[in-house]
Amino acid sequence: MGVLENFLLILLTPLLGAAFLFLFTGKLGKNAVGITAFGLAAAAFLASLGLALRLPVIKTISIIAPWINVLGVTFSFYYDTLTAVSILISTFITAVALIYAVGYFRDRQDFNASGFYSLIMLFLAGIIGVFVSSNLILFYFFWELMLLPTFAIVAYFGENRARSGVLAIKYFIFTHIGAVLILFASLLIYAMTGTADMSVLKAVLGVSDPFMVKAASVMLILGFGIKLAVVPFHSWLPDTYENAPTPATVIMASVMMNASIYGLVRFFFTVLPREAVTPFILPVMVFAVISQFYGAILALVQKNIKRMIAYSSISQMGYVLFGIGTLTYLGVSGAVFHMVNHTIIKALLFMTVGAVYLSSKSYDTDELGGLTAYLPLVALTGTVGALAVSGIPLFGAFQSEWLIFAGGFRTPYTVLSVLAVAGALFTAAYALKFVADVFFGARKNIGSRSAAPVPRAMVFSMSVLASFTLLIGIYPWFFSKAVHIAVRMLGV
Amino acid sequence: MTALMPLFILFGGAFAVYIVSRLSRSKAFWGSLLSGAAIIAALYSLLRIMSALINEQAVYYPLNVLAYTATLRFDFLSVLLSITVLILGLMVAVFSYKYMDEDLSQDKYYALLLIMIGAIVGLSASKDLFNIWVFFELMCVSSYILVSFRKERWEPLEAGFKYIIMSAAGSMMVLLGISLVFGMTGNLDLAAIKHSLIAAPQLPLIGSLVLFICGFAVKAAIVPFHTWLPDAHSEAPSGISAMLSGIVIEAGLFAMIRVMLYMTALRADIGMVLIILSVVTMTTGNLMALAQTKIKRMLAYSSVAQMGYILMGIGIGFKLFIPDGFLGGFFHIVTHAGMKGLAFLAAGIVIHYVGTTEIAEMKGLAKKMPTLAFSFAIAAFALAGVPPLSGFMSKWLIYKAGIDAGGWGFALAAAAIFNSVLSLGYYLPVVNTIYSSEVSGKVVSARRPPWQVMVPVAVLTLSVIALGVFPDLGLGFVGLAVKNIYWIVGVQ
């Protein structure tokens, strides 16, 4: 298989798969549809792995095909190590989450399986498109393709039937404003330079009107910041994550965040010249630290465990943003590595929440407790997830957080870095509280009700992720190597 | 003769349709079949004209009007508008076969539809003020009757009456403008007028311009001349609403542009006026649409807003001669015909077969009619300018034109983008209602729409998606039309 065929396989498998699932699986049972969707995601993962393994030889792949000739906008894609890392982790987690979904929806009546899984596939196609496009217009195009299916999932499959419409609109308006800011910045860059090709823009922008370049970079930071739920723009996140059906929350909270992290890294280091970014680094880092504290503290006070993990996302994105904001090799490597770890850990935590809910029919910490006796494997994997998110050695996130803080201390902003390290304490606090409230202690108000066993597919997928985060924690070499190559190729 | 072929076919077809379906027992069948055949034949002759134009042969037919020379001359601009109106007209003719089967006097319906289409084709090819006015009035008169076609109810009559009064006032202003220009130059042919107007006195010239802009603006529903539109478009039969919103108001704007293109001396000032009107129009249209509870009134106000986009693109084109402005404006005419036509046809099916015009009573439509709900959702997202649908492609060209303009252009682009986000505020709730998990009583008792009305809906849905993913399918034609504008104005 040639490089081009391999590349097209990655891009088209989810896209055509979405159409296939939507059109032809209406009559199939929901398990069959779910397994087909898993097969498609796994195929995309394998195809991506195949292309990634060629990268040591061919370094960067770029593909250009005509699209809008009148304007000179092309279908242009590239595939370098950063892209490979992002696609691999995203398709892998999506595939695992789809196994989880099959288990989660096992007993659900009145579930439109072909609609749900085709939307997930469409989302996957959108996010892969975001990772590979090297044209500003194409990037925006795929960015919205990624948002639309998630809106539909929140609106039509939401758990809170009465309010999911309103919550979905809130989510869509917020993220659409973010997207539109990215579009505005892209058009500004396009108008200034006459090219929308991301691989050549850095040189061209270096000699453009600095004020306009800075304006574009502010808009990009705001646009991606909204999607990352950085603190003043975070209010969509807990509502959306709480309301989305848990398998979709798993995918949105873990995989969708990768798109914004990827976008920020890509624009900071491949598209924008360094002078256009440096003036905004201090505010970015300040808001990153604020998000870190805010998310962690609010997670600590939540009674609803799904909201608790949702707030944890805000806090974790603070770490990532802090790492990117350092603009140092260590910090950015840490951020990209943390993206990988966070994807696994956040998926694992939301899966735990879903499993707990399925067995006890409650998200409320006042009602839960003592689940270890009933669901030992879920308790084990959930505890692994909680320990990992608090950055304890032996678990994946330790390596990446450590790199992020190391990057922070390379910058002149020592106070901020100290604060960022201190924020990790709050993370540990809510993570341990989560474990204590759910798995240990006595069965509280629902003590009389026994916890139902959860489907094996769910336990399996959680075990896979838990072992993965342990693997990264104990033997990070392979993963950190890929991340380091990716960041070095960006020329940080 | 070639230049008259489409008009012969359409007007001759109108007579033939009337006579045949008057005499036959199945009026709807023959009316729909013959008008469809006439439109296809006209489309074929237009494609012949198009190929002649590409081979650089002029296609014209000289006319003598009261001893003044005039010509009916096709150029790429006319071909663009004519092909759009013919394709949309074909969809409406097919749609009306089953949709109008409970109405009286269908023989007249199809004849009037063909006359309206013929008038727009004629209008597009007119290069002299006399013919422009004649065809313009013909279009208006046929649309008055079609708006009040369901004369057994009160509301269509009232809407039609309001429409006649306002539109007639507009026509009179145009006529007064024509007489002023005729008095100044002694000529009716626009090309000749262009030369003599260069030396014309300023004040009467400005007076005639004001009259032209106000007169045509009534027909094009530009704020503050839009008040007839929501009544007329919501009370007309849905096929006619699709025609009115999709192409008739654009034809009014087209006539205005055609005349303005020859007023070279005041080009930049005209552009400024159009730009100011455009911002007012799109904002008013969107704000009014937010407040609507009836689906067709909402779509009607959204047409006002969309006219603002077209006007903004063309206004920027006039002011600064930025090709993307014209390109975006004219492409938006094409894409808007597709998506608004689709939205009105889908809404018409809901009104006819579900039996409600209230958005709130359409809950759970997706459960009963999934294809229709999907099509409407596609139309709504396309109208809101969400990629990967056709509306995005034309809108971003307009944003890009604003940003290319620089300075105040940024504010224009920001206003247009803000309006797009605003429009989501009324499209998303409709989509949510349609996909709601509750099902309203009206939907439960809905009749099943026959496949004949679903065919045009499916075709238009595909076209909206296809033009979004491969905009070159339409942009090629539009590019030629924009080149044509440059030839007319004589700017390179």
Residue A364 forms contact with B (CB below 8 Å): no
- Whether B197 has a pLDDT exceeding 80, the answer reads no
What is the number of other CB atoms lying within 10 angstroms of the CB of residue B201? Answer: 9
Contact call for A184 and B428, based on CB within 8 A: no
Chain A: residue whose CA lies nearest to B478? A70
* Residue B127 and residue B191 in contact, taking contact as beta carbons nearer than 8 Å: yes
| A387-391 CB contacts, 8 Å cutoff, 24+ apart | A387/A431, A388/A341, A388/A344, A388/A345, A388/A348, A388/A469, A388/A473, A389/A312, A389/A316, A389/A345, A389/A346, A389/A349, A389/A427, A389/A431, A390/A424, A390/A427, A390/A428, A390/A431, A390/A432, A391/A424, A391/A427, A391/A428
The encoded tokens of residue A119 equal 């939307």
Min CA distance, B34 vs chain A (Å)? 34
Min CA distance, A61 vs chain B (Å)? 23
Helical axes B408-434 vs B390-405, angle rounded to 10°: 160
Contact call for A70 and B475, based on CB within 8 A: yes
Cross-chain CB nearest to B479 (options A67, A70, A141): A70
Min CA distance, B135 vs chain A (Å)? 32
Q: Please report residues of A whose CB lies closer than 8 A to that of B431.
A: 155
The position carrying tokens 């704020």 is B223
Q: What is the pLDDT of residue A448?
A: 53
Chain A: residue whose CA lies nearest to B479? A70
For residue A216, give Cα distances in angstroms to A181, A209, A256, B386, B417.
9, 11, 23, 21, 15
Q: What is the pLDDT of residue A247?
A: 94
Chain A: residue whose CA lies nearest to B324? A71
All residues at 6 or more sequence positions from A75 whose CB lies less than 8 Å from its CB, including other chains: A63, A64, A65, A66, A67, A135, A138
Task: Give the Cα separation of A255 and A100 in Å (integer).
Answer: 15
Mutate to test the interface with B, among A27, A70, A181 (most CBs of B within 10 A): A70
Q: Please report residues of B whose CB lies closer than 8 A to that of A190.
A: 400, 403
For residue B219, give Cα distances in angstroms to B114, B119, B345, B477.
19, 14, 22, 25
Q: Please report residues of B whose CB lies closer than 8 A to that of A155.
A: 431-432, 435
- Amino acid at site B95: F
Task: Give the Cα separation of A358 and A374 in Å (integer).
Answer: 13
Chain B: residue whose CA lies nearest to A165? B432
Q: Where is B63: in which H helix or E strand?
A: strand B59-65
Contact call for B424 and A173, based on CB within 8 A: yes
Chain A: residue whose CA lies nearest to B371? A23
Residue percentage of chain B with pLDDT more than 90: 52
Instruction: For residue B116, count CB atoms less than 10 angstroms from its CB and return exposed for 0-12, middle for 13-18, buried for 19 or more.
Output: buried
Residue B12 forms contact with A (CB below 8 Å): no
Contact call for B476 and A155, based on CB within 8 A: no
Spell A190-217 as b/e; 16+ CB within 10 A means b: bbbbebbbbbebbebbeebeeebbbbbb
The encoded tokens of residue A331 equal 């910090």
Q: Please report residues of B whose CB lies closer than 8 A to that of A67.
A: 470, 472
Residue A180 forms contact with B (CB below 8 Å): yes
Instruction: State the DSSP code for B437.
Output: S
Q: What is the pLDDT of residue A308?
A: 94
Q: Give me the tens of pLDDT residue by residue for chain A, a chain 492 residues long.
A: 788 888 889 999 999 999 998 888 877 888 899 999 999 999 999 999 988 888 888 777 888 888 877 777 788 888 888 999 999 999 999 999 999 999 999 888 878 888 899 999 999 999 999 999 988 988 998 999 999 899 999 988 888 777 888 888 899 889 999 999 999 999 889 888 888 888 888 888 888 888 889 999 999 999 999 999 998 899 999 999 999 999 999 999 999 999 999 999 999 998 898 888 889 999 999 999 999 999 999 999 999 999 999 999 999 999 999 999 999 999 999 999 999 999 999 999 999 999 999 888 888 888 888 888 888 899 999 999 999 998 888 888 888 999 999 999 998 889 999 999 998 889 999 999 999 988 887 776 655 566 788 899 999 999 999 999 999 988 888 888 889 888 988 877
Cross-chain CB nearest to A187 (options B403, B421, B435): B403
HSE-up (13 A, CA, CB side) for residue B322? 25
Task: Give the Cα separation of A349 and A365 in Å (integer).
Answer: 15
Contact call for B399 and A140, based on CB within 8 A: no
CA torsion through residues B336, B339, B343, B344, sign: positive
Q: What is the pLDDT of residue A490?
A: 85
Residue A23 forms contact with B (CB below 8 Å): no
Q: What is the pLDDT of residue A237?
A: 93
Contact call for B432 and A168, based on CB within 8 A: yes
Residue B429 forms contact with A (CB below 8 Å): yes
Domains of chain A by residue range: 290-492
The position carrying tokens 């997670």 is A299
Chain A: residue whose CA lies nearest to B407? A212
The position carrying tokens 């970079």 is A217
Task: Give the Cα separation of A410 and A391 in Å (integer).
Answer: 20
Min CA distance, A69 vs chain B (Å)? 7
Q: What is the pLDDT of residue B65?
A: 65
Q: What is the pLDDT of residue B66?
A: 66
Residue B458 forms contact with A (CB below 8 Å): no
Q: Where is A64: in which H helix or E strand?
A: strand A61-68
pLDDT in tens, B39-77: 999 999 999 999 988 888 777 777 776 667 777 888 899
Q: What is the pLDDT of residue A85?
A: 92
Residue A137 forms contact with B (CB below 8 Å): yes
Bond preceding residue B224 cis, omega within 30 of 0: yes
Min CA distance, B217 vs chain A (Å)? 30
The encoded tokens of residue B139 equal 């279009």
Interface of B with A in 362-401 (CB under 8 A): 381, 386-388, 392-393, 396-397, 399-400
Chain B: residue whose CA lies nearest to A183? B396
Cross-chain CB nearest to B403 (options A156, A180, A191): A191
Q: How confident is the model at residue B1 (pLDDT cuts 50, 70, 90)?
A: low
Residue A173 forms contact with B (CB below 8 Å): yes
Residue A109 forms contact with B (CB below 8 Å): no
- Whether B199 has a pLDDT exceeding 80, the answer reads no
| B260-263 CB contacts, 8 Å cutoff, 24+ apart | B260/B209, B260/B212, B260/B213, B260/B318, B261/B485, B261/B488, B261/B489, B262/B190, B262/B191, B262/B193, B262/B194, B262/B197, B262/B488, B263/B194, B263/B197, B263/B205, B263/B209
Residue B101 forms contact with A (CB below 8 Å): no
Min CA distance, B243 vs chain A (Å)? 28
Task: Write down the ipTM of this complex.
Answer: 0.81
pLDDT in tens, B297-336: 999 999 999 999 999 999 999 888 888 899 999 999 999 9
Cross-chain CB nearest to A68 (options B388, B424, B471): B471
Chain A: residue whose CA lies nearest to B469? A67
Residue A176 forms contact with B (CB below 8 Å): yes
Residue B172 forms contact with A (CB below 8 Å): no
Which is nearest to A106 in space by CA: A254, A243, A247?
Answer: A247
Q: What is the pLDDT of residue A56?
A: 81
What SS3 state is found at A134?
coil
Average confidence (pLDDT) over B460-471: 92
Residue A140 forms contact with B (CB below 8 Å): yes
* Residue B205 and residue B266 in contact, taking contact as beta carbons nearer than 8 Å: yes
All residues at 6 or more sequence positions from A6 whose CB lies less than 8 Å from its CB, including other chains: A47, A50, A51, A54
Residue B313 forms contact with A (CB below 8 Å): no
Chain A: residue whose CA lies nearest to B471? A68
Mutate to test the interface with A, among B400, B427, B436 (most CBs of A within 10 A): B400
Contact call for A67 and B399, based on CB within 8 A: no
Mean pLDDT of chain B: 89
Task: Give the Cα separation of A187 and B99 in Å (integer).
Answer: 43
The encoded tokens of residue A318 equal 């603070």
- Whether B282 has a pLDDT exceeding 80, the answer reads yes
Q: Please report residues of B whose CB lies closer than 8 A to that of A160.
A: none
pLDDT in tens, B98-138: 888 777 788 889 999 999 999 999 999 988 888 899 999 99
Average confidence (pLDDT) over B202-223: 89
What SS3 state is found at B72?
strand
Q: How many interface pairs between A and B have CB atoms less than 8 angstroms apart? A: 85
Chain A: residue whose CA lies nearest to B472? A68
Contact call for A180 and B417, based on CB within 8 A: yes
- Whether B88 has a pLDDT exceeding 90, the answer reads yes
Residue A484 forms contact with B (CB below 8 Å): no
* Residue A240 and residue A252 in contact, taking contact as beta carbons nearer than 8 Å: yes
pTM for the structure as a whole: 0.88
Residue A452 forms contact with B (CB below 8 Å): no
Mutate to test the interface with B, among A71, A157, A218 (most CBs of B within 10 A): A71
Min CA distance, B487 vs chain A (Å)? 18
